[in-house]
Structure 1
Amino acid sequence: MAEEMLNTLTLQGSCHCGAVTLTLPSMPETATKCNCSLCRRLGVLCAYYPFGTVRIEGHPEHTVDYVWGDKSLRTVRCKICGCATHWEPIDGELGSRHGVNLNNFDPRLQELVKVRHFDGADTWTFID
């Protein structure tokens, strides 16, 4: 069943209006649901890739950034529909960690990915 589903899935997603599209370089093995003050408000489910390996079209012309905390990353959303699409390192160093919001992809993709729960609000550890 999972293999059959995987064969029909595309690794391309988009924000609600389609102005920003994301293409993953490979199927994510895990995703992280974080309860920090920002992630819980945005409702993101992040898969991580080396920065520069996810193809993002419509960025930066259709996106806006939000930077806070230690100012090491920017959270990016579509400036038209408001969907959070990804976060990226501010220094832009290729290979750095990059988070992609899987909620912008076919929901069946999430069924194939192990979701880990991260306590970013308090202990800064995985709680699963």
Structure 2
Amino acid sequence: MKYKASCHCGQVAFEFEGEFKEALACNCSMCQRRGSLLWFLPREQLQLLTPEDAAARYTFNKHVIQHRFCPRCGIHAYGEGQDPKGQQVAAVNVRCVEGLDLDALPIHHFDGRAL
């Protein structure tokens, strides 16, 4: 299925295809504060609908994940990084996906604090 997603004000928007089986709730210092639910896909499957520089970047700790957020409304829309095999991945904040029933999506809790 094809999905569209965006920040609150629409300055950062993208689309992608996939099947949601679950979302990930991480308890690291960043994810716990922002309350995002994440779903991962290969980075090349995420198609930006707005210019790449519309989203600001933030990194912390080991600086391996590019947390992408809107500098206007502050919403974290997605992140970029590498999986353990070195493949480029995107982590979509499913709370930004249009028309998605979050109550129907199983949540996997991940201990990001332990990393």
Scaled by the length of structure 1, the TM-score of the pair is: 0.76
1:55 matches 2:61: no
Gaps (5+ residues) in structure 1? 1-5
Alignment-derived partner of residue 58 in structure 2: 66
Q: Distance in 1 between matches of 2:51 and 2:113?
A: 29
Q: CA deviation at 1:86?
A: 0.6
Q: TM-score, normalised by structure 2?
A: 0.84
Deviation sequence 1:56-87 (CA, Å, 0-9, x none): 22242211100111121110001111100111
**Cα offset for 1:95?**
4.3
Q: Distance in 1 between matches of 2:81 and 2:7?
A: 20
| Aligned equivalents of 2:75, 2:48: Cα separation in 1 | 14
Q: Is 1:39 the equivalent of 2:51?
A: no
**Cα RMSD between the aligned structures?**
2.2
Could you tell me how far apart the structure 2 residues matched to 1:85 and 1:59 are? 14
Instruction: Quote the Cα distance in structure 1 between the aligned partners of 2:23 and 2:49.
Output: 22
Q: Match of 1:40, SS?
A: helix
Larger radius of gyration, structure 1 or 2? 1
Q: 1:99 to 1:118 in 2, by over 3 A?
A: same
Identity in percent: 24
- Counterpart amino acid of residue 67 in structure 1: T
